[in-house]
């Protein structure tokens, strides 16, 4: 059993139909009515609890008066992502900030990726705060947890993917000679460390988001969103 909180995350959990909603809590009937109207589907009658109780259950003050207990997140095997027709994979490496991970998952879903691979250690997983930050987009994504992204890179190379890593020392993304129509894997790392050195070394190309001014980097979720939609634009 896992906790999901917030209007959009719970609504998308119900819409995605990938895991069962086990129990629903609401602060008042009005909030439950808002959720019911959003999903336009039959929902279990909620247990009405105080704001303090909902904060205690969810572990967050940002639960919007709605908390759910649901089945565990339905992770998939890496191979299932490679079977999807989009041939556009996102690999997250060393990302630990739940807000960044959630925002990136939201962008990835909207950009039409086949799926996402995430590290099982030293990285943020699909936690309640990540689901909330993704606005529920994580409920629709195929996500695979791997011990090492090198395994994903090796599989991508076998499948003919062109592998791109975001890196501050890379080529400007908008001028890079990327074979857009080939299967593509984008690797994104955290702001402080970036993509692991071994992964960068084995990428076909490193790219950066060109910027003006004196700052040397963007927030990881912003950089990832720009790269994801540039890839999606060119592939379309």
pLDDT digits (tens, 9 = 90+) for 12-64: 999 999 999 999 999 999 999 999 999 988 899 999 999 999 999 999 999 99
Q: Are residues 30 and 99 in the same domain?
A: no
Share of residues in the chain with pLDDT > 90 (%): 83
Q: Are residues 63 and 127 in the same domain?
A: no
Range 123-130 average pLDDT: 89
Q: Which of 35, 70, 105 is the last residue of a domain?
A: 70
Q: Are residues 130 and 23 in the same domain?
A: no
- 145 and 119 Cβ atoms separated by less than 8 Å: yes
Q: Are residues 17 and 126 in the same domain?
A: no
Q: Are residues 13 and 44 in the same domain?
A: yes
Residue 112's domain is classified under what CATH number?
A: 3.40.1280.10
- 162 and 183 Cβ atoms separated by less than 8 Å: yes
Q: Are residues 86 and 17 in the same domain?
A: no
Q: Are residues 121 and 88 in the same domain?
A: yes
Helix (H) or strand (E) run with residue 64 in it: none
Q: Are residues 112 and 199 in the same domain?
A: yes
Provide long-range contacts, Cβ within 8 A and 24+ apart, for 74-79. Answer: 74/18, 74/19, 75/126, 75/143, 75/144, 75/145, 76/115, 76/142, 76/143, 76/144, 77/144, 78/117, 78/144, 78/146, 78/151, 78/152, 78/155, 79/155
pLDDT tens, 165-196? 999 889 999 999 999 999 999 999 987 788 99
DSSP character at residue 71: P
Q: Is the pLDDT of residue 214 over 70?
A: no
Q: Are residues 93 and 188 in the same domain?
A: yes
The SS3 call for residue 44 is: coil
Q: Which of 70, 99, 121 is the last residue of a domain?
A: 70
Q: Is the pLDDT of residue 83 over 90?
A: yes
CA distance 177 to 205: 9
- 75 and 19 Cβ atoms separated by less than 8 Å: no
Q: Which residue has the tokens 């086949």?
A: 114
Strand partners, 133: none
Residue 24 belongs to what domain range? 2-70
Q: Is the pLDDT of residue 123 over 90?
A: no
Q: Are residues 12 and 35 in the same domain?
A: yes
Q: How high does pLDDT run on average in the chain?
A: 93
Highest mean pLDDT among 120-124, 146-150, 216-220: 146-150
Give the total number of structural domains in the chain: 2
Residue 27's domain is classified under what CATH number?
A: 3.30.1330
Q: Which of 40, 70, 100 is the last residue of a domain?
A: 70
Instruction: Provide the sign of the torsion angle of the four alpha carbons 16, 21, 25, 26, taken in this order.
Output: positive
In this prediction, residue 104 has a pLDDT band, given cuts at 50, 70 and 90, of very high
Q: Is the pLDDT of residue 223 over 80?
A: yes
């Amino acid at each position: 059993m896992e906790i999901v909180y917030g209007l959009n995350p719970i609504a998308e959990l119900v819409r995605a139909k990938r895991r069962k909603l086990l129990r629903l809590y609401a602060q008042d009937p009005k909030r439950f009515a808002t959720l019911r109207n959003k999903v336009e589907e039959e929902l279990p009658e909620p247990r009405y609890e105080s704001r303090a109780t909902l904060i205690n259950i969810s572990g967050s003050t940002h639960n919007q008066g709605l908390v759910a207990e649901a089945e565990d997140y339905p992770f998939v095997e890496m191979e299932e992502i490679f079977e999807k027709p989009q041939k556009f994979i996102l690999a997250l490496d060393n990302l630990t900030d739940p807000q960044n991970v959630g925002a990136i998952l939201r962008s990835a879903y909207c950009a039409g990726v086949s799926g996402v691979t995430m590290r099982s250690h030293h990285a943020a997983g699909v936690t309640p705060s990540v689901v909330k930050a993704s606005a529920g987009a994580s409920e629709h994504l195929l996500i695979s947890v791997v011990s090492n992204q090198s395994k994903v890179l090796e599989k991508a190379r076998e499948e003919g993917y062109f592998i791109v890593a975001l890196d501050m020392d890379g080529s400007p993304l908008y001028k890079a000679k990327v074979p857009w129509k080939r299967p593509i894997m984008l690797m994104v790392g955290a702001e402080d460390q970036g993509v692991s050195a071994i992964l960068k070394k084995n990428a076909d190309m490193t790219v950066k988001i060109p910027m003006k001014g004196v700052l040397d980097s963007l927030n990881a979720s912003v950089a990832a969103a720009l790269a994801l939609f540039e890839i999606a634009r060119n592939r379309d």
